[in-house]
Structure 1
Amino acid sequence: MLLPLTQVLVAVAALLMLVALAYALFDRLMDNWLLALVTLVEVGVLVQLVRGLVGIGDLDGHRATFIAYLATLPLVLAITTLGAIKDKTRWAMASVGVGAFAVVVMTLRLQQIWDLYA
């Protein structure tokens, strides 16, 4: 895992979370700017997926957990975003915010596993 990529990914996902929750608070629907943020986070997650799978080593018994986090991380935000595009309520934006929060937490956990066991 690349620490600078993790830091940028966490920062952009946290920004996405705050913006999506602000959209939910002000009852706004998804627009191009928010979709661009989602795309930026997804590209970072996919780069991290490739980097993690290429550089995976033994990981001292935590290999299955690491691969599970890597494999599900791209799906979390994609599924919540597709749901938000289809659903036109304030809760759709709240779900994108929760999905972005999940990306932040899962990315930090991936980095923690990598630092401890790789």
Structure 2
Amino acid sequence: MLTWLTAVVLVAAAALGVLAGVYASRGRVVDDRLLLVFAVLEITLVVQVVVGLVQALSRSDGFEKPVFLAYLFTLPLVPPFVTFLALKEKTRSSMAVVAGSALVVGVFMARLTQMWSFGG
């Protein structure tokens, strides 16, 4: 996996988490700015899937491909699902769910990096 791409994903997830936290503290709901951060995060995650898939299929050591690919393909599903929930439930708690999803993306990326670096 590309280190710089992983860093970009983590920065986008952190930006989403911070923005959602600010929105939750101020009682704001989803707006265009938050959707833009969601879109940036989703684009970086799709690029990560493509890069990770190409690199994982070319790897032949004792690497756990099925688990890695499961994490890799599940990760881009989180932001659209949470976006849908946040758009449907326009409350302060929906912003907490958005902030939690940013944490989930960060944890998934940490696990993907761990599997890639240590082979399982």
- 8 Å contact from structure 1 (residues 10, 108) kept in 2: no
Give 5+ residue unaligned stretches, structure 2.
none
Aligned length: 118
- 8 Å contact from structure 2 (residues 63, 116) kept in 1: no
Cross-structure match for 1:73: 75
Q: 1:99 is matched with which residue: 78, 98, 101?
A: 101
User: AA paired with 1:67?
Assistant: L
TM-score w.r.t. length of structure 2:
0.92
Determine the C-alpha separation between the residues in 1 that align with 2:61 and 2:110: 16
Cross-structure match for 1:8: 8
1:11-50 to structure 2, matched below 5 A, reads 11-50=11-50
Determine the C-alpha separation between the residues in 1 that align with 2:91 and 2:69: 34
Give 5+ residue unaligned stretches, structure 1.
none
Percent sequence identity over aligned pairs? 40
Question: Which is further off, 99-108 or 60-69?
Answer: 60-69
Spell out, residue by residue over 1:44-63, the C-alpha distance to the aligned partner (whole angstroms, 9 max, x if none). Answer: 00000011111112452521
With over 3 angstroms needed to count, the CA separation of the structure-2 counterparts of 1:91 and 1:52, relative to structure 1, is same
4+ residue runs over 3 A deviation? none
RMSD: 1.4
Question: Which is further off, 52-61 or 8-17?
Answer: 52-61
User: AA paired with 2:22?
Assistant: A
Cross-structure match for 2:65: 63
Q: 2:92 is matched with which residue: 68, 90, 113?
A: 90
Determine the C-alpha separation between the residues in 2 that align with 1:113 and 1:36: 30
With over 3 angstroms needed to count, the CA separation of the structure-2 counterparts of 1:60 and 1:12, relative to structure 1, is same
